[in-house]
């Protein structure tokens, strides 16, 4: 079998995993169900993955990569980089909390946090650096920024749990943003950011 065919089979399994997660979450997430969906032989699965945990991680990376790139692309022309940083987080909260196909992430929040952090921290750091350069934030905010950013992602997981308890996802998203806005940002600016996010049609 050629390398291209091997890659194709692996991609088929990852795509089958993504489709399965979108439809059924982690229910019946097995090598048998995935190979059947991908129209591949059962043994093919173990040529590429040692366990369903491995293909789960690959599927999450694909899902998160796709919509984090979409969010980054839509935000790149926003001149206010502090707003761009917070808007990306806000969109992420909306995406995960109001998308039934992402609900299973609550069962694996550590996957979401680690993968989303790895894929998006460079975008977040660049936005914050731009906000510092424009005088919107002090350089001190960059200290331990990666730790802060990871904590924000864990806050998102907590917020999503509240949505499952019946809270309105848009209200949760806005309250999370209020918690995430750097404390050094003046109240008027913070209120303006919240109003902008609240009124934009996402």
Residues 31 and 36: their CA atoms lie apart, in Å, by 8
Cα separation, 1 vs 12, whole angstroms:
15
Q: What is the DSSP letter of 29?
A: -
Do the domains spanning 1-50 and 60-199 agree at the CATH topology level? Answer: no
pLDDT at 2: 46
**Per-residue pLDDT, 103:** 66
Q: Tens place of pLDDT for every residue, the chain, 202 residues? A: 444 455 589 999 999 998 998 888 888 999 999 999 999 999 999 999 999 999 988 888 887 788 778 888 888 889 999 999 999 999 988 888 877 666 677 677 888 888 889 988 998 999 999 999 999 999 999 999 999 999 999 998 888 888 878 889 999 999 999 999 999 999 999 999 999 999 988 7
Q: Which residues lie below 8 Å from residue 27, measured CB to CB, with a gap of 6+?
A: none
CB 26 within 8 A of CB 104: yes
DSSP 168: -
Q: In terms of C-beta density within 10 A (0-12 exposed, 13-18 middle, 19 or more buried), how is residue 16 classed?
A: buried
The CATH code belonging to domain 60-199 is: 1.10.357.10
Q: What is the pLDDT of residue 154?
A: 93
Token pair, residue 178, equals 């209020």
DSSP 8-state assignment for residue 134: T
| 1-50 under CATH 1.10.3470, yes or no | no
Looking at residue 101, its pLDDT comes to 62
Give pTM, 2 decimals.
Answer: 0.79
pLDDT reported for residue 5:
52
**What values do phi and psi take at 168, rounded to 5?**
-70, 130
Question: Contact, 112 vs 64, CB < 8 A?
Answer: yes
Q: What is the DSSP letter of 47?
A: H
Domain residue ranges of the chain, discontinuous segments joined by + = 1-50, 60-199
């Amino acid at each position: 079998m050629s390398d291209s065919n091997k890659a194709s089979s692996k991609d088929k399994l990852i795509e089958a995993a993504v489709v399965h997660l979108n439809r059924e979450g982690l229910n019946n997430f097995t090598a048998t169900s995935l190979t059947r969906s991908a129209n591949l032989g059962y043994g093919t699965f173990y040529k590429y993955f040692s366990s369903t945990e491995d293909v789960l991680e690959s599927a999450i990376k694909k899902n998160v990569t796709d919509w984090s790139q979409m969010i980054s692309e839509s935000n790149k022309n926003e001149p206010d980089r502090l707003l761009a940083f917070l808007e990306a987080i806000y969109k992420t909260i909306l995406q995960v909390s109001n998308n039934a196909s992402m609900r299973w992430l609550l069962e694996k929040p550590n996957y979401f946090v680690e993968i989303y952090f790895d894929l998006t921290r460079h975008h977040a750091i660049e936005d914050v650096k731009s906000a510092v350069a424009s005088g919107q934030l002090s350089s001190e905010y960059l200290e331990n920024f990666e730790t802060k950013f990871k904590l924000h992602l864990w806050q998102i997981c907590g917020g999503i749990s509240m949505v499952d308890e019946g809270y309105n996802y848009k209200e949760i998203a806005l309250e999370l943003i209020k918690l995430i806005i750097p404390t050094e940002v003046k109240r008027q600016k913070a209120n303006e950011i919240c109003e902008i996010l609240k009124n934009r049609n996402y």
